[in-house]
Structure 1
Amino acid sequence: MKLLWSIMIVLILLLQVRLWVGEGSFAQVWGLENAIAEQREENAELAVRNERLYAEVRNLRGEKGAVEERARMNLGLIRNDETFFLVVEQ
């Protein structure tokens, strides 16, 4: 009878070790859940950024003034009938 109890205790201990340390253990599951949560947060931030970029693309495709404004701000667009003044502060 003692041999049976000894075998049962050893089996229970082996199962506990696997539960806490082995593959699929609580520690591994908690780590994976944290990684999934971080990835979801990053995906949400990227989705917001993508939506802003899509809105900007729609604006540039739809309005001619938006393209001209972008060219003026970023590329220094000047029309033929305009005069360019550069104000330099001391």
Structure 2
Amino acid sequence: MRIVIAILVALLLMLQVELWRQYGQIGELMRQVETQLDQNQGLSERNDALAAEVADLKSGLEAVEERARAELGLVRDGERFYLVVDPEDLPEGQAEALRRLEGLPAAPDPVGGASEARPALDDRPDPDPPTDDG
């Protein structure tokens, strides 16, 4: 009878060990479910934003025009495009040319005002003046 009790106790201990091992796996699976739910929430918000953008692109031309201006540089007739450049971002030769252009007088604007952004072609110094070394 003692052998049967010992076998039953050993069997009970093995079942307990298996039960606690599976209980630990349940905790790990619960953490994985929480992580996946968080990922799904973020992706759902992203999908909603993309669906709203698609609906906006299908419904009106304003969104298409805004995107074309931002990504493709769209300029309509009658508009002027100004590109503002930081001299530190230019290569050395171009930065020096920009500094020389900034020192020149402004050309008259064809609309009627004076534009300070562009030098007049007649006022530019000759890059290679003729010499009389002859």
TM-score where L is the length of structure 1: 0.85
Partner of 1:57: 54
Partner of 1:3: 3
- The one-character-per-residue Cα deviations of 1:11-57 (angstroms, maximum 9, x if unpaired) are 10111121123xxx111111111101110110011000110111011
**Structure 2 gaps, min length 5:** 88-134
Q: Find the aligned partners of 1:19 and 1:71 in 2 and give their Cα distance.
A: 62
Tell me the SS of whatever aligns to 2:70.
helix
Q: Find the aligned partners of 2:8 and 2:44 in 1 and give their Cα distance.
A: 53
Q: Which has the higher helix share?
A: 1
Q: What is the one-letter code of the residue matched to 1:12?
A: L
Q: Does 1:38 align with 2:35?
A: yes
Identity %: 43
Max radius of gyration: which structure? 2
The alignment yields a C-alpha RMSD, in angstroms, of 1.5
Q: Find the aligned partners of 1:2 and 1:73 in 2 and give their Cα distance.
A: 85
Q: What is the one-letter code of the residue matched to 2:6?
A: S
**Structure 1 gaps, min length 5:** none
